Amino acid sequence: MNSPPDRFKASNVFWGGVRKMGLTPTTVLRQSGLPISLYDGEKAVVSTGQYFSLWRAVGELSSDPAIGLRLGQEIDSESFHPFAVAAQHARDFRDALSRIARYKELCCPEEMKISEEKEECVIETRWLYSNEDGPPALTDAISTSLIKLGSRGTETSIHPKRVELKRAPEPSRAHEQHFQCPVKFRARRNALVLRPADLDRRFVTYNSDLLEMLDPQLDKELAGRKAQARIGDRVKWVLKRLLAGNRPDILAVARELGVSGRTLQRRITDEGASFRQLLLEARKELVRQYLAEPSIEINEAAYLLGYDDPRSFYRAFRSWEGTTPAIWRSGHYTAIAHRN
């Protein structure tokens, strides 16, 4: 039987970085509310939500707003998955980023989106099994590791054109000092913006022989990983991204997955499901996230789930949970208060 798709290793790379910050795995696990037994001395097999909890705990345990920047700088790249080793020996910075984006899911359910225009290259990270952004420390560590990759490979100091962060600004200005570029806080997205000219910089570490050896191995592993992934899980992930005042149809989802509508329908049917059922499951999973967020009004949650008529949403919610959205939300907050 295949493992659940949202399970991956928080490996000794992560824990090694934690130790360099003066923390211990036990301390981080306790702060995150996760069982100590999750860590076996080298790694912990976690879900995306648990991984986020670990990174939040790291941020909470440190008084340093730059803890994620430091972690990204300190993590030992020699311990990385082979896909990262291949990136270190790429032809140039563009090739290295392309390899990271292609093989990222071999390490964890993370997608790196690269959008290149005339004057800039925008890099954003999405998590396949979460609608949430990664915790601030994790977001900082990812951006820092990419810049470190480019600077090490080219043996030059690469600085972003700018960094965009959704969070509020830090009084310490640690991010501006670290990246040595403008940092836009309270932005609409978390993004690392690079100059195309930096992407063209050749890597002095380029090793074509090593790449010829690693590429077939990585391609085979990637193909196997995709073959094992349930199409239903992938469809729900896409639906959660597309559901925001819209009601995406199967053709829209098929385009996102790079297959025809007929092929997608066949694969969904082969798993004993239907597109309508997957849409319903995606909505049911999303609504709990929305109602757990006090800033989202109930009617706004209905809109975000693609319901034109709030009454239709209320009827659907009662069929899912056996109660109204308002009562469910009240009970959720009460349960949190009792736990605290």
Task: Kindly report the CATH number assigned to the domain that includes residue 195.
Answer: 3.90.1520
pLDDT in tens, 119-161: 899 999 988 777 788 999 999 999 999 999 999 999 999 999 9
Residue 2 confidence class, pLDDT cut points 50, 70, 90: very low
In the chain, how many domains are there? 2
pLDDT greater than 60 at residue 82: yes
Q: In the predicted model, what is the mean pLDDT of residues 206-213?
A: 92
User: Which of 6-15, 54-63, 108-117, 244-253 has the least mean pLDDT?
Assistant: 6-15
C-beta of residue 294 within 8 angstroms of C-beta of residue 235:
no
Range of the domain at 144: 8-211
β partners of residue 192 = 123, 163
Q: In the predicted model, what is the mean pLDDT of residues 35-58?
A: 86
What percentage of the chain exceeds 70 in pLDDT? 92
**Tokens (6 digits) for 18:** 């934690």
Q: Residues with Cβ < 8 Å from 218, sequence gap 6 or more?
A: 82, 83, 86, 103, 106
In a domain, 222, yes or no: no
In a domain, 125, yes or no: yes
**Tokens (6 digits) for 187:** 């932005």
162 and 32 share a domain? yes
Per DSSP, the three-state class of 314 is: helix
198 and 312 share a domain? no
Instruction: Tell me whether strands 191-194 and 162-164 are parallel, antiparallel or unpaired.
Output: antiparallel
pLDDT greater than 80 at residue 335: no
48 and 163 share a domain? yes
Query: Which of 211, 245, 264 delimits the end of a domain?
Result: 211
Longest dimension (CA), the chain: 62
**Tokens (6 digits) for 181:** 């570029």
Separation of alpha carbons 231 and 268, rounded Å: 6
Separation of alpha carbons 96 and 189, rounded Å: 23
**Tokens (6 digits) for 200:** 């063209």
Instruction: Tell me whether strands 162-164 and 183-184 are parallel, antiparallel or unpaired.
Output: parallel
Predicted local distance difference test score (pLDDT) of residue 227 = 65
Q: CA distances (Å), 30 to each of 57, 63, 327, in order?
A: 8, 17, 31
Q: What is the pTM of this model?
A: 0.71
137 or 219, which is more confident: 137
Query: Which of 152, 184, 211 delimits the end of a domain?
Result: 211
User: Which of 170-184, 226-240, 250-264 has the least mean pLDDT?
Assistant: 226-240
